[in-house]
Structure formats: structure tokens, C-alpha cells
């Protein structure tokens, strides 16, 4: 099992808060890797919000090829953040870790957002393809106001390795995953969280329906539905498909991946629509055990469980700061001063959301189709 | 000069030519006559012989020859009266005095063409080897990293869809406020009818091919499964219509009406249309059958008695041969599409209409045509191991295509087009051939079938059909079915109790349901059928593994 630690807050905070929370849940991950995904960047990046950030790892040669590619394609680098690496035993340093902020190519500067977004996704995929064979270029995300960092190793050690305690890197939403390796060979593309066009998710669990889901997604003809080194990457793409491609309200993500039973559907006010969705999207039904934590482009964070509830997950916090954790001890570390009696342990019908700003928690009940707000 | 006079009986068969040889025990036989009476082909007969007995009495050997007249049961060597190995003689013998024994050295096919009449029979392809489906294993067992589900505790959704499913982007949905979607009734979108059914369907076996108690037993079992157990099992009628009372009953919704090239039974169906209180589950247009590709249906005259003649609207005692193809159909692009539309129109587009074809290398061409036809509700493919009530032996044994690869190729073709959830594939032909109903069904589903269809297995398991792949019995075409399953002769079918057939059908589906859960639970699937979950399958043959795109494990 992996361990997940997500925090959303009204104020900027350091990813070390997530890492410390992961440390408390160490029995659940084996230190085989960590992924960090930051959204709504603060600190030095607060003034760079409009510029897409390319996050990745390169060899020296890979970096040259990457820079050349970006230059040829009209991207102008406006800023580069790189971690101040401190050698730590057990972590093999790679040549270059980076987050590069770019200005759009001149031809795109006035383009509609959809075109810009397609350009960013296409560029990320092209870079990925360029460096995939020799692993000279690994790119995790290319999007405004989102930064991703991944490496093999123990999360706390990686925090030190990346020098995250220096306080330069801050955000209002941070997803962190402490990895439990079940894929035998460690591939950075298999490391959560995953990202596509504003949607980021990470998952604790296994996906037994991976093959038909992957085939279904890959045959949608949607840019970016590729890769799938991890069976959990499909959860991000299903979310994107639900909200972006189909235009459904986000709660239907739960109805798609963990649908109600036939008789239960009849109790929902939107049953006519649900019946059609159940038929049409049956290939995207997951079969757990899964706990999925993620964020939307608008900055809403959520946690959703599969119907059989075989993976742990808890949500709790105070006004202005909420955490989504695999375990209660992670919550205690991230938001120690909260009222624990208000903690939420999402069950099979619950879709728990904390809207941007972290002022309240909303629990959507799949069975009734109603939302309860806890503030 | 004429031929040299040979030994007596030179042009007669020896029993060694025959597929089954009767073992009869004089010492056990009480000469009750039950065996000779029950034998469907009169392959055994009472015979009177003179027996020479040598005996000696007293202290000193003094052999004395006497002759006595004895009655025996002997096997005849007439090819028209060959022993089929049905073993009804053994069943009725009170003293275990008789049984047929399979003769692996027989030359049955060398001689079973008397009068130039090519051998016809019922049953299934005579190949006792395991099918590809039986070679597939379920190897991706969820272990510690992804806990297996509990077949006894978790809820399982063993259901599938029959009908054309709209892709999500075509769904007529709109925002209804409050974060809800509603169906946009004003949208100009045809939402095809879709039935939620149990993934094991009862394949087409006609009233006519089956005896009244057999068909009635299956129908009763289907009603019980649906109404008492909540298992939406559907049953296809086969060609030949259905009893009018059933057509007008509320039970019609559990049945798929088949229309085939002879259109038998459709007069009655059309006449019943205004009186129907329920729609049928679906309409199946039969273009082919796995057991006899390229052949039409065949109901031989001995089975066309009063009931069948009236349902089918034909005289009694005539051979009812459906043409190999629908005579009015000249192209899939136009004619098949028109037939699908016509059938859809008859029920106001409320009933799924799908074609059934025999397994063939050209299945993908059919599939691609149907994939483009928004009214085609499914494609049913019947593989070479499918059964039939009557066909030429050569068609059954040598014609057709294995179902596993046909389904796999078609599914992957749909995946390439992104239509894997739009046009359900129904696989059949040899499901349960070796008794592994649930395992074969699960394997086909994981190769890409949305549902499977089964017939022969059900006759064997619900009514004790004697047929097997050593050509045992297989008399379905003759009307002399010794179990009373495929006959219209009241003397034979009164042996069969429809209530027992229904009870057995329920047993079979309940057991298969448990077994499917026992397969899917360790694979970690319960919420949805593992359609196309090919990573769960392996086979111990590299070439098969490569052909099916699954893993090799040994």
C-alpha cells in the first residue's frame, strides 16, 4: 500500500508539512519513492502564475535537447527553479531537477485557453517521447501554477535531498504520495500524483480493471490519454474525461467509477440520466481497493473511496486548512489543532470535497444525490 | 465369368466397423426384453439360436453332445441400425446384463452413406479434445497487494447489457440544476433499447427441435429464475416461433424471438403482435449457425406433428428446410440494415435487434458493418463447437471457426475503433462442452464477449441428453431421442418431466452464478463484468497465447 497526504489551505505552506505527515504513516510505505504536486504556487512563483511550468528531470544531454526543443517551438524561459540538492545517503542524484517557467510562443499568446492547453499537453507528450528510450528526459507536468517533483527514496530523506526546508517552495494545495513499490522496477512515470490539464490525482490501491479501462481511455482519441506505467494513472484520466470531455458535474466521477446498484439508482432524482451513464461508461467502473485524492483545475480537493472501502482515508482540519490523509496520524501531524470529532472517514457513498480556500467540507451522498456542508 | 463366390456374408459389416459394440452377458440376462424395446435404432434384437452343449456324467469321461434352443440378445450389423452408444439398454436393464462399449477402431464414416445419403445427425462437433476455451486459465489472482474479494460476502454485479449502447458523448444529457444531469427529452437523439440481462443466455433451440416438455421445462425455469431469484436470464426461441399463448403472455419479456431464413413461426408472431402485453427481450436474426455454417435450419418430417405444424403454419410430416441464406438479402450494407430496421419498427424501436452469424474468418467484416449501423443491437457469433438438432455430419465436423479467436479479434477491432462498449458481442459454440460452463463463460467474457449463449450443455445438464463428442446418440434429427428431449413423439417425450427440467435449469444457473463469483472474486472484480480483462487469462500454449494476445504460463 502507498500512503497519501494532501493538504489544502487558505495560506501558502511548505511541502515539508505533507512530508512530515507521510513520515507519521511510514508503516504504510516502503520509502521507494515520493511524488509531490503543488498547485496555486506561492513564494517566488506567486508572480509567475500565468506562465506554464514544465516540471521534470533530465540528464545533462537531455536538458540540452529539451532547451533546444522549447526554443525551436517558440517557448521563452522566464524563470527556472531548481532544488538545492543536498547529498543524502541512499538517494542517487540525477543530473538536473527543474521547474521551468515559460512564456507561450508568440503565435499562441493571444490564443484561446483551449488552444494553449492543447499546446502544453502536446509539448509535454513530445518531450516525454523524446526522452523515453534513454530516460534522458522525464517530464511530469507542463501547466500554469502547477509544479511536480518526483524521485525514488524515502520521503523525509527526499525532503532533505531537495532542500525543501529552505521555504522557497510553497503552495496552497499540495498532494504527496509515499510510495510502496508493487511494480518491481521503479519507473518515475509510475509514481503518483498524476496530472492532466488541471486535474491531479493520487491513489492508494490497486486497479484490477486496469486493462479494459486503459483500452477504453486510449481509444477515446483524447490528447494525453497515454502512458499508463501505473494502473492508477487511469483515475486521473477518468476524472478528466468525466469533467472536461463529457462536461459532467464532478460528482458523476463517483457515479462512473463506483456506480450504484440498479435498485439504488432508482432512489436518485437523476435516475434517468444515471441509467444511461451506467450503461455507457461501464468500461470505466473500477473494482478497488482504492482511495483517490485529487484536485480540479478550480482548486477543489476531494477524496473518494471505491465501493468496497478497502483502503484507509480520512479528512479533517480547521477553517482555512484541511488535510486528506491515508491515516488519522497524518491528520494529527498536518492539522494538530482541529476538532477530531469532526473528522470524516469517507464511506462507500461519500464524495468529500474541500472547495478552493479550504473554508468548508462538503460531503456528497451518492445514494441520495445530496450534499451536506460542514464548515 | 462372374465373380468368384466368396465366403458367406462377405458384403456385410463386421461389428468392428461399428462405433459401439454391445457387451451382453448371457449369465445375467433374464430375457425381460426391456433393452430391445427401448433401443432407439433397434440395434439389438432378440434372437433364437441352437446351442451345442457337450456334457459328461459319471466317473469316466463320456462326452455327450446335445443341442438346445436358446434365446439371446444380439447386435445387428445393419448400418441403418447401428448402435449409437446411447446406453438406454444399460439404463433399463434390471440386472446389469448389457452395455455398449465405444470402439475406437470403428469405420463408421466409411460406411454411413448408404444409398448415397450423406450422414446427417444432431449434436455437436465430434471432437473430444478440449477446446481453446477449456485450455484458458485464470492466472492474475489478486493476492496481498490487491486483496481478493470474497465470493460469499461481497456484492457481485453479474449482469450485462443486450442492446446498442450510446457512447457517452452522444448521451442526451443536460444540466438540470443543482449539479444534476437530466435527460434532454427534446434532444434529437435515438436512445436504443437496452436490456440488462444475465451474462449467460439460453441459446436458440426451437419449439420443434425440442419436445414440448423440454421447451416448456426451460421456459418454466427461465420464468422462475427471473421472478423468484431475480436472475434476468433470457432464452432465445430458435426458428419456428413460439406457442401463441406464450406470445401473448407477460412472460414474453424473457424470450428472444428468432427470425431465420425460413421465417417459420412468424405468421403467428405477427398475428399476435397486437395482443402482446410485453415486448420480447430482443429479436435475433439468424444468418448462420456455428454447428453448420452455410446451412439453413432443418426440421425433419418425423418431427413435424400437429403442434409444430400449427405454430409454423405448415402441413404435417414435411421436411422443413430453411434456406442457407435469407433469400431476399443480397448485401449487408442494405438488406441486413433494412431487416434490422424492419424488425425494430415492428416493435416501435423498443426491442433490441441483432444478427447471429456462424463463426468465420469474415466475422470482422460483419462486425464493422454493424458497428456503423446505429440500430444494430449486438453481434452474436456462434463458434464451430455449437450444437444443432439436425445437420450434415461434414458440416458439423469440418466447417466453422473456433469461437475464442473470433470473439477476441472482433473485440480488439472494436477497441481500435473505440466502440468496445457500444456493440455487445455474444459468444457461443462449445460453452460448457467439457462441463465447465462458468469457466468457459468467464473466459469468453474476458476475451471480450459481453455475454455468452449456451444450448447443448443445458440439454445435457437439465434433461440428461446422452450426446457426446464420441458421436454417442446424436439422434436429435431423427425424432427418436431416447430421453424425450428432441422428439415430437408422445411415446418418447412423455418420459421427460418438464418440472424436473425446470428445476435442473435453476440448479444449473444458481451453480454457475456461484462459480462465476468464485472466478471473478480472486481476480478482484465484482462491480462490473470483466469484459476484455484479458490480463487475467493465460494459456499453456505459446501460439494460442500470441494469437489471443494473452500471456503464456506453464
Give the residue ranges of DSSP H helices in B22-113: 34-38, 88-92, 108-111
Cell of A172: 496552497
Phi, psi of B343 (to 5 degrees): -65, -40
Name chain A contacts of B169, Cβ cutoff 8 Å.
Answer: 245-246
Per-residue pLDDT of chain B (554 residues; tens, 9 = 90+): 566 666 678 889 999 999 999 999 999 999 999 999 999 999 999 999 999 999 998 899 999 999 999 999 999 999 999 999 999 999 999 999 999 999 999 999 999 999 999 999 999 999 999 999 999 999 988 776 666 778 777 788 899 999 999 999 999 999 998 899 999 999 999 999 999 999 999 999 998 899 999 999 999 999 999 999 999 999 999 998 998 899 999 999 999 999 998 889 999 999 999 999 999 999 999 999 999 998 887 788 888 888 888 888 888 888 888 888 777 666 777 778 889 999 999 999 999 999 999 999 999 999 999 999 999 999 999 999 999 999 999 999 999 999 999 999 999 999 999 999 999 999 999 999 999 999 999 999 999 999 999 999 999 999 999 999 999 999 999 999 999 999 999 999 999 999 999 999 999 999 999 999 999 999 989 889 999 999 999 999 999 999 999 999 99
B415 touches chain A (CB under 8 A): yes
Query: From the CB of residue A50, how many other CB atoms can be counted at a distance below 10 Å?
Result: 11
Closest residue of A to B176, CA-based? A270
Closest residue of A to B191, CA-based? A276
Q: What share of chain B is helix, strand, coil (3-state, %, to 5)?
A: 30, 20, 50
3-class state of residue B337 by DSSP: helix
Q: Of A280, A308, A369, which is closest to B154 when you measure between CB atoms? A: A308
Cell of B466: 446422452
Between CA B23 and CA B17 the distance in angstroms is 15
Cell of A307: 465501493
B 494-523 near A (Cβ less than 8 A): 523
What local confidence, expressed as pLDDT, does residue B286 receive?
93
B413 Cα to chain A: minimum distance (Å): 11
Q: Is residue A1 scored above 70 in pLDDT?
A: no
Beta carbons within 8 Å of A259's beta carbon, 6+ residues apart: A265, A274, A277, A278, A282, A285, B527, B528
Is A252 in Cβ contact with B181 (below 8 Å)?
A: yes
Exposed (0-12), middle (13-18) or buried (19+): which is A116, by Cβ within 10 Å? middle
Handedness of CA A260, A263, A268, A272 (dihedral sign): positive
Across the strands, what pairs with A323?
A7, A316
Q: Which of A2, A209, A309 to mutate to test the interface with B (most CBs of B within 10 A)?
A: A209
Spatial strand order in the sheet of A361-365: A194-196, A199-205, A290-295, A301-305, A350-354, A361-365, A370-374
pTM: 0.94
pLDDT in tens, A103-162: 999 999 999 999 999 999 999 999 999 999 999 999 999 999 999 999 988 999 999 999
Dihedral angle, C-alpha A341, A346, A351, A352, nearest 10 °: 30
Between CA B273 and CA A234 the distance in angstroms is 48
Sorted by where each starts, the structural domains of chain B and their CATH numbers stand as: 15-53+63-117 (3.30.70), 134-166+193-552 (3.20.20.70)
What is the CA angle A67-A151-A12, rounded to 5?
A: 85
Confirm if A144 and A49 have CB atoms less than 8 A apart. yes
Is B533 in Cβ contact with A209 (below 8 Å)?
A: yes
Name chain B contacts of A310, Cβ cutoff 8 Å.
Answer: 147
Between CA A278 and CA B28 the distance in angstroms is 66
B182 touches chain A (CB under 8 A): yes
If pLDDT is split at 50, 70 and 90, which confidence band does A340 have? very high
What local confidence, expressed as pLDDT, does residue B295 receive?
83
Segment (H or E) for A333: helix A328-334
Q: Of B180, B191, B532, which is closest to A269 when you measure between CB atoms? A: B180
pLDDT in tens, B387-418: 999 999 999 999 999 999 999 999 999 999 99
Confirm if B60 and B110 have CB atoms less than 8 A apart. no
Handedness of CA B499, B500, B506, B509 (dihedral sign): negative
Confirm if A150 and A33 have CB atoms less than 8 A apart. yes
- CA end-to-end span of chain B: 67
What local confidence, expressed as pLDDT, does residue B539 receive?
98
A227 Cα to chain B: minimum distance (Å): 17
Is A283 in Cβ contact with B530 (below 8 Å)?
A: no
Name chain A contacts of B196, Cβ cutoff 8 Å.
Answer: 262
A279 Cα to chain B: minimum distance (Å): 7
Q: Return the exposure string of B407-418: e unless at least 16 CB atoms fall within 10 Å of the residue's CB, then b.
A: bbbbbbbbbeeb
Is A285 in Cβ contact with B527 (below 8 Å)?
A: yes
Q: What share of chain A is helix, strand, coil (3-state, %, to 5)?
A: 35, 30, 40
Cell of B178: 443543482
What local confidence, expressed as pLDDT, does residue A203 receive?
92
Is A280 in Cβ contact with B181 (below 8 Å)?
A: no
Interface size between A and B, measured as CB pairs under 8 A: 121
CATH of domain A3-49+145-374: 3.60.20.10
Segment (H or E) for B222: helix B212-227
Cell of B81: 441400425
Beta strand pairing call for B20-24 and B98-102: antiparallel
Percent of chain A whose pLDDT exceeds 90 = 83
Give the residue ranges of DSSP H helices in B352-454: 363-371, 393-398, 403-417, 437-447
Is A182 in Cβ contact with B191 (below 8 Å)?
A: no
Over residues A19-24, the mean pLDDT reads 94
Between CA B294 and CA B391 the distance in angstroms is 11
pLDDT in tens, A293-331: 999 999 999 999 988 766 889 999 999 999 999 999 999
Phi, psi of A190 (to 5 degrees): -90, 0
Confirm if B313 and B289 have CB atoms less than 8 A apart. no
What local confidence, expressed as pLDDT, does residue B329 receive?
65
Name chain A contacts of B165, Cβ cutoff 8 Å.
Answer: 279-280
What is the CA angle A351-A357-A360, rounded to 5?
A: 50
Amino acid at each position: 500500500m502507498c500512503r497519501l497526504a494532501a493538504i489544502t489551505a487558505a495560506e501558502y505552506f511548505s511541502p515539508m508539512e505533507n512530508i512530515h505527515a507521510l513520515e507519521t504513516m511510514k508503516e504504510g510505505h516502503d520509502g521507494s519513492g515520493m511524488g509531490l504536486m503543488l498547485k496555486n504556487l506561492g513564494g517566488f512563483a506567486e508572480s509567475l502564475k500565468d506562465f506554464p511550468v514544465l516540471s521534470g528531470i533530465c540528464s545533462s544531454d537531455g536538458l540540452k535537447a529539451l532547451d533546444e526543443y522549447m526554443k525551436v517551438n517558440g517557448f521563452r524561459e522566464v524563470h527556472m527553479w531548481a532544488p538545492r540538492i543536498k547529498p543524502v545517503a541512499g538517494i542517487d542524484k540525477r543530473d538536473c531537477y527543474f521547474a521551468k517557467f515559460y512564456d507561450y510562443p508568440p503565435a499562441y499568446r493571444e490564443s484561446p485557453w483551449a488552444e494553449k492547453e492543447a499546446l502544453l499537453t502536446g509539448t509535454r507528450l513530445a518531450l516525454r517521447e523524446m526522452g523515453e528510450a534513454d530516460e534522458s528526459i522525464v517530464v511530469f507536468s507542463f501547466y500554469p501554477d502547477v509544479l511536480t517533483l518526483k524521485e525514488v527514496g524515502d520521503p523525509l530523506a527526499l525532503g532533505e535531498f531537495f532542500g525543501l526546508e529552505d521555504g522557497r517552495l510553497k503552495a496552497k494545495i499540495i498532494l504527496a504520495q509515499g510510495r510502496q513499490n508493487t511494480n518491481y522496477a521503479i519507473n518515475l512515470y509510475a509514481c503518483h500524483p498524476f496530472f492532466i490539464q488541471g486535474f491531479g490525482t493520487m491513489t492508494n490501491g490497486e486497479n484490477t480493471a486496469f486493462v479494459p479501462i486503459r483500452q477504453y481511455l486510449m481509444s477515446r482519441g483524447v490528447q494525453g490519454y497515454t502512458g499508463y506505467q501505473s494502473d492508477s494513472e487511469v483515475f486521473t484520466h477518468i476524472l478528466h474525461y468525466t469533467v472536461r470531455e463529457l462536461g459532467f458535474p464532478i460528482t458523476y466521477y463517483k457515479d462512473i467509477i463506483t456506480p450504484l446498484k440498479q435498485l439504488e439508482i432508482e432512489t436518485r432524482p437523476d435516475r434517468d440520466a444515471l441509467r444511461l451513464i451506467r450503461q455507457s461508461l461501464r468500461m470505466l467502473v473500477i473494482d478497488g481497493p482504492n482511495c483517490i485524492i485529487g484536485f480540479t483545475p478550480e482548486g477543489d480537493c476531494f477524496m473518494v473511496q471505491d465501493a468496497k472501502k478497502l483502503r484507509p482515508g480520512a479528512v479533517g482540519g480547521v477553517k482555512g486548512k484541511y488535510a486528506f490523509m491515508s491515516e488519522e496520524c497524518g491528520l494529527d501531524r498536518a492539522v494538530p489543532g482541529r476538532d477530531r470529532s469532526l473528522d470524516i472517514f469517507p464511506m462507500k457513498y461519500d464524495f468529500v470535497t474541500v472547495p478552493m480556500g479550504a473554508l468548508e467540507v462538503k460531503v456528497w451522498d451518492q445514494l441520495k444525490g445530496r450534499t451536506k456542508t460542514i464548515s | 465369368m462372374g465373380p468368384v463366390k466368396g465366403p458367406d456374408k462377405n458384403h456385410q459389416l463386421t461389428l468392428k466397423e461399428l462405433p459401439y459394440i454391445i457387451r451382453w452377458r448371457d449369465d445375467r440376462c433374464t430375457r425381460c426384453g426391456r433393452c430391445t424395446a427401448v433401443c432407439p435404432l433397434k440395434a439389438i434384437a432378440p434372437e433364437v439360436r441352437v446351442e451345442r452343449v457337450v456334457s459328461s456324467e459319471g466317473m469316466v469321461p463320456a462326452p455327450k453332445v446335445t443341442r438346445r434352443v436358446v434365446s439371446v440378445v444380439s447386435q445387428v450389423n445393419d448400418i441403418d441400425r447401428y448402435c449409437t452408444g446411447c446406453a438406454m439398454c444399460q439404463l433399463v436393464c434390471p440386472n446389469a446384463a448389457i452395455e455398449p462399449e465405444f470402439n475406437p477402431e470403428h469405420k463408421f464414416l466409411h460406411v454411413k452413406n448408404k444409398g448415397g445419403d450423406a450422414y446427417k445427425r444432431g449434436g455437436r462437433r465430434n471432437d473430444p479434445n478440449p477446446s481453446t476455451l477449456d485450455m484458458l486459465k485464470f492466472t492474475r489472482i489478486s493476492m496481498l497487494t490487491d486483496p481478493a474479494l470474497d465470493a460469499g460476502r461481497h456484492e457481485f454485479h453479474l449482469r450485462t447489457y443486450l442492446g446498442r449502447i450510446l457512447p457517452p458523448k452522444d448521451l442526451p444529457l443536460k444540466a438540470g440544476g443543482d449539479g444534476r444531469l437530466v435527460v434532454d427529452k427534446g434532444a434529437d437523439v435515438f436512445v436504443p433499447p437496452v436490456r440488462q440481462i444475465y451474462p449467460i443466455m439460453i441459446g436458440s433451440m426451437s419449439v420443434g427441435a425440442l419436445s414440448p416438455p423440454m421447451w416448456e421445462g426451460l421456459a418454466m425455469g427461465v420464468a422462475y429464475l427471473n421472478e423468484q431469484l431475480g436472475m434476468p436470464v433470457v432464452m432465445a426461441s430458435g426458428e419456428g416461433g413460439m406457442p401463441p399463448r406464450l406470445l401473448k403472455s407477460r412472460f414474453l419479456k424473457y424470450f428472444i424471438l428468432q427470425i431465420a431464413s425460413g421465417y417459420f413461426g412468424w405468421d403467428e408472431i405477427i398475428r399476435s403482435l397486437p395482443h402482446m402485453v410485453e415486448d420480447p427481450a430482443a429479436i435475433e436474426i439468424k444468418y448462420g449457425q456455428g454447428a453448420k455454417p452455410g446451412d439453413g435450419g432443418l426440421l425433419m418430417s418425423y418431427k413435424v406433428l400437429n403442434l409444430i405444424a400449427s405454430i409454423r403454419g405448415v402441413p404435417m410430416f414435411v421436411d422443413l428446410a430453411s434456406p442457407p441464406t435469407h433469400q431476399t438479402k443480397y448485401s449487408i450494407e442494405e438488406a441486413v440494415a433494412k431487416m434490422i430496421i424492419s424488425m425494430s419498427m415492428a416493435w416501435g424501436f423498443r426491442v433490441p435487434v441483432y444478427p447471429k452469424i456462424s463463426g468465420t474468418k469474415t466475422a470482422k467484416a460483419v462486425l464493422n458493418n454493424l458497428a456503423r449501423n446505429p440500430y444494430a443491437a449486438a453481434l452474436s457469433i456462434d463458434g464451430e463447437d455449437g450444437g444443432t438438432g439436425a445437420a450434415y455430419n461434414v458440416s458439423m465436423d469440418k466447417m466453422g471457426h473456433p469461437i475464442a479467436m473470433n470473439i477476441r479479434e472482433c473485440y480488439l477491432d472494436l477497441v481500435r475503433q473505440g466502440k468496445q462498449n457500444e456493440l455487445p458481442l455474444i459468444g457461443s459454440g462449445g460453452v460448457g462442452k467439457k462441463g465447465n460452463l462458468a469457466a468457459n463463460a468467464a473466459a469468453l467474457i474476458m476475451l471480450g464477449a459481453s455475454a455468452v449463449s449456451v444450448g447443448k450443455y443445458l440439454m445435457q445438464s437439465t434433461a440428461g441428453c446422452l450426446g457426446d463428442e464420441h458421436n454417442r446418440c446424436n439422434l436429435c434429427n431423427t425424432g427418436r431421442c431416447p430421453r424425450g428431449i428432441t422428439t415430437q413423439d408422445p411415446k418418447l417425450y412423455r418420459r421427460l418431466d418438464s418440472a424436473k427440467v425446470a428445476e435442473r435449469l435453476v440448479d444449473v444457473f444458481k451453480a454457475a452464478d456461484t462459480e462465476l463469483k468464485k472466478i471473478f472474486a480472486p481476480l478482484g472484480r465484482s462491480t462490473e463484468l470483466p469484459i476484455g480483462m484479458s490480463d487475467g487469462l493465460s494459456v499453456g500454449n505459446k501460439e494460442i497465447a500470441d494469437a489471443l494476445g494473452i500471456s503464456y504460463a506453464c
